[in-house]
Structure 1
């Protein structure tokens, strides 16, 4: 059964908030910091074209009582398939009631030509990824210049399509340092330039590469 859930106000025993989605261009609610970080991954994932927080209600019975289950995220990908993602701390993923919810979610998705996926902090908080995305996503769109991005890409090709940020910055010495940084970060965030965001913190020593294709 469908029906979005009304998000209750936060209290001292819970953590709730809203995160500005770069993809959806609006505030998306979250009810745990793990859900907040998952939103950052959805924003960064180029295969995700749309997502929504708790838009689906699934009714089920548990220990003789009627229950309502609101899975965390409905996600549509560029294969035009819909996915339901449940975000759960690993230590809670084996809880009896949560396991039942997972089974209910699987059944609902099977009946509605959707895919059900449970993700934990092991899937979401990999290495330095979330911290790096926090830095990259801070770039304001009004700071982006096509001419500057073109020059950064051109210089990277001249450097053999791979260089440290420091080497690339030196090659782009006619570009203001702050402008260079904003535009390079935007190119990384939009996956036009690649760097390993999981295993390395963003700094001048990390290697960036021109994306092929």
Structure 2
């Protein structure tokens, strides 16, 4: 879905996986610029943040400059990192951006586990007629669970495997919505995604 991005650690890769599934993200620039900062001894240095994220206009969010660090890195190197981050905050204030620091606590969540599961279904081949049948059934119900949906569409258990694959594809491609902060499974509740209001859809430049 667009171009690939470079990353320097597994934690950064997980961060980009989350961005790739975020509909509000328009594009990402990795290592976008150098920030000049002053060390405690008065000497100058340069610091390169990990990513600059731009959002679709409808999100009404200013660009966000990100640094991805483990909590251990922050604890062990805080005295060196603090002036770099202070300079980045000042630069973002001047440009109308936001500076964000993300650690494993905010990245490696249930949401990430769900996104990684769904990514494998994104390009799964499905029958368009069957997909529309699933969407129509979800519309006719009130937030049905996957089990309820499968039972209503195919009382014969042997025919539910292909239907389940279609359902996961629809969730992975965001035509069906669910709460990704909860574990995904048979009890997952679904609803049809609201139609996009954009007359001209935006091209997104995030991929991992």
Q: TM-score by structure 1 length? A: 0.76
Moved over 6 A (4+): none
Q: TM-score by structure 2 length? A: 0.77
Which residues in structure 2 correspond to 1:3-152 (within 5 Å)?
22=1, 25-62=2-39, 63-79=41-57, 81-94=62-75, 95-126=78-109, 128-141=110-123, 143-152=125-134
> In proportion to residue count, which structure has more helix?
2
User: By how many angstroms is 1:212 displaced?
Assistant: 5.0
Map of 1:9 onto structure 2: none
RMSD (Å) for aligned C-alpha atoms: 2.5
Per chain length, whose mean CA-contact separation is higher, i.e. which structure has more relative contact order (CA < 8 Å, sep 6+)? 2
Name stretches of at least 5 consecutive residues in structure 1 with no aligned partner.
1-21
Name stretches of at least 5 consecutive residues in structure 2 with no aligned partner.
196-208
> In proportion to residue count, which structure has more strand?
1
Count, aligned residues: 187
Report the 3-state secondary structure (helix = DSSP H, G, I; strand = E; otherwise coil) of the residue aligned with 1:206. Answer: coil
Q: Indicate conservation of the 8 Å contact 1:161/1:210, yes or no.
A: no
Measured against aligned partners, the alpha-carbon deviations of 1:52-72 in whole angstroms (never above 9, x if no partner) come to: 211211122323443221111
